[in-house]
Amino acid sequence: MTRAQPSSPTEHPSALLLLHVGSMDARLIGLSIERHWTRSVRLVETLEEAQVVLIDCDRPGIEAALDQLAGHPRIGIVYYAFHPKDHALRFQPRPVLGKPLNLEALPATLNQARVDAAHMIAAAPPRPMAPALAVSSPVAYPRAPAPLGHSLMTDDERDLCGGMDDIPTTPGSSLPDKLFFNPDDYLIGRLQQALALASASGRPHLISGLPRLIGIEPRPVPVCITAFRENQLRPLAMTQLPESTGRIVSTPIIGEADSQPVHRAAEDFLWNAAAWAARGRLPAGSDPYQPVRLRAWPNFTYAFASPHAMRIAALWTRMHASPVEIATRLGIPHRYVFSVYSAASFAGLLDTTAKHENAPVAPFPPAPSDKPARGSVLSRILRKLRDAV
Amino acid sequence: MRSERTRHNKIIFSGTVGAGKSTAINALSDITTVSTEAVASDSTARLKPTTTVAMDYGVLNLPDGEKVMLYGTPGQERFSFMWDILSEGGIGLILLINNASPDPLQDLEGYLGAFRQFIASTAVTIGVTHMDSSPQPGLDAYRARLIALGLSPMPAIFRADARSRDDVATLVKALLYTLNPGLNDA
């Protein structure tokens, strides 16, 4: 599978200093640069060499990092935080990205920050606490449209489902390569392999070479054991891993000494890893026109629910239909259904036994018992739960 | 004239003793849950010191002033005569199963049987509680039992912590989408 090199707005790669980031983030960003961004970003080790720096607002010691930057006004700064809105005002007009970082979009953001830093020097400095600058950059500046996200909903939607256009509703046209992803390039491929080996041998298997523990115990119901925190797993699962990273090894027992590992049902764990890798794409070799069915709802109290995922599960557990048909019936972009398809296929929840229901493909009608008044109540309850949770 | 019980929209919470029905209602309710728990005097006492002997309820206040009543049924089977009365006019059923009970799959089957007519005209979602301390049977065992019982469409079944508002809300959302996948919250 080909991997796109993010385009750089400049001739030379931006010199990036990871001024104030955690070791996990540093490793993931370093791997991404090494593997994909060599033409757009290069890592440097000193402020004197840096053209742009990255700062994690949530890490202790940020004030010291800012003090270091005081004498370097020409350096671009990209901040990131769990709650970027909380920091946007303080750091404007610099961009504050939401966690988890969208690694595919990061090089362009870094380059833009570098260019904008030069412009800021040329122009009059903005007054502190002034409204956000009107910038043409698509980067997540305060109050600007945010490709890396300010709100959780925007982040989830983009991170989980990408932004791909719909494909034709009937087969026949050639499908774009970018519709598909190769699971072997991602954590999900390693997990799938580890699960298969553990199930076949009855022995626990580890994915070696990762910064923290991930292993599969076969047990009666397979369990994934990991020392990664949730906020670390997502960027890891979204990142293409070097081929040499993540060898599967058999082990008599999965060590418990590594910072309190958590145990998760393998089904849930693989669902999430696949959804994060897929980002609205299908596993290579999938047929978006082939009728399939969800054999069960995923465990949505842990499994990640991308936009519309519950609606998709509700419909797809009651009928065989292709991903494209499901999207048509629900009146939603195909990428949302492709995301659920990918997650379900790796979680073992997809029933691919061919059986097509010959109902005409049309937007989903109200259920027969769903009288208008009640339907309206259901929507209001849903809105209440959505707004309150 | 309809009674107060049937005039409002209702979501019914039922399930085994100690599964967390009262806790779940309390997690979701906008008011302090009205509960009629009492000291358990029979075998239930081995599972928890108090149990719901009548019913308890909470309320979801909708923005337009409408209310959705959250009714919890008594867990003990000897109070099962109340189940039909409480569920009359309900939107659907949230069934909570305590995975630490001696035979949770049998509990599931029993409750689905007891609410068969209600479920047939509405919908059910199932939360399995206490799976952290009692991981077996797993969700797949529950799914297999649901298939064997011929429930169609397959109800949503999740691991759930009844203390977690997110988990309880997720169960209710799944119930609403089961009733109508065409609902849109996006």
Q: What is the CA radius of gyration of chain A?
A: 23
Nearest CA in chain A to B142: A296
Q: Where are the domains of chain B?
A: 4-179
Q: Which of A195, A389, A356 is nearest to A274 (CA)?
A: A195
- Residue A274 has a pLDDT of 96
CB contact under 8 Å between A301 and B166, yes or no, is yes
The whole-number pLDDT of residue B174 equals 97
Could you report the per-residue pLDDT of B122-178, keeping only the tens digit for each?
999 999 999 999 999 999 999 999 999 998 889 999 999 999 999 999 999 999 999
CA–CA gap between residue A149 and residue A146 (Å, rounded): 5
Which residues are CB-neighbours of A101 under 8 A, at least 6 positions away? A25, A29, A80, A148, A235
At residue A155, the pLDDT reads 53
**Ordered mean pLDDT values, 10 residues apiece, chain A (389 residues):** 42 87 78 80 90 88 84 87 81 82 80 79 38 30 31 54 88 92 96 96 93 90 91 89 86 72 94 94 96 97 92 95 96 95 97 68 50 71 78
Q: Which residue, among B10, B173, B175, would best test binding to A if mutated, counting the most A CBs under 10 Å from its CB?
A: B173
Distance from CA of B38 to the nearest CA of A (A): 30
Residue contact B157–A380, C-beta within 8 A = no
Report the first-to-last Cα separation within chain B, whole angstroms.
38
- Residues from A contacting B (CB-CB < 8 Å) are 220-221, 265, 267, 295-297, 299-302, 305, 307-308, 310-315, 317-318, 330, 332, 363-367, 369-370, 374-375, 377-386, 388-389
Which CATH code, of 3.40.50.80, 3.20.20.70, 3.40.50.300, 1.10.3720.10, is assigned to B4-179?
Answer: 3.40.50.300
CB under 8 Å to A273, separation ≥6 — which residues?
A186, A187, A188, A191, A233, A237, A346
Give alpha helix (H) positions in A70-207.
84-91, 106-122, 152-161, 187-201
Task: Report the candidate in B118, B113, B59 with the shortest Cα–Cα distance to residue B86.
Answer: B118
Categorize the per-residue pLDDT at B36 as very low, low, confident or very high, splitting at 50, 70 and 90: low
Which two tokens mark A81? 């935080």
Please answer whether residues A9 and A108 qualify as being in contact, where contact means their C-beta atoms are separated by less than 8 angstroms: yes
In the prediction, which pLDDT does B183 show? 87
Altogether, the residues listed in chain A come to a count of 389
Residues of A in contact with B161 (CB under 8 A): 301
User: How far, in Å, CA of B29 to CA of B24, rounded?
Assistant: 9
Measured distance CA(A38)–CA(A6) in Å, rounded? 10
The pLDDT assigned to B84 comes to 75
Average pLDDT, chain B: 83
Yes or no, beta carbons of A374 and B68 under 8 Å apart? no
Q: DSSP character for B53?
A: S
- Cis previous bond, B102, omega within 30: no
Give, to the nearest 10 degrees, the angle between helix A266-278 and helix A152-161. Answer: 90
Model confidence pLDDT, tens digit, residues B47-69: 555 554 446 678 999 887 888 99
Domain ranges of chain A: 14-150, 168-179+287-389, 182-278
CATH classification number, A14-150, choose in 3.30.930.10, 3.30.465.10, 3.40.50.2300, 2.40.50.100? 3.40.50.2300
Rounded to two decimals, the ipTM of the complex is: 0.87
Confidence at residue A271, expressed as pLDDT on a 0 to 100 scale: 97
- Among A300, A380, A389, whose Cβ lies nearest the Cβ of B158? A300
- CA angle (A296 as vertex; A292, A300 as ends), nearest 5: 120
Q: What is the pLDDT of residue A119?
A: 66
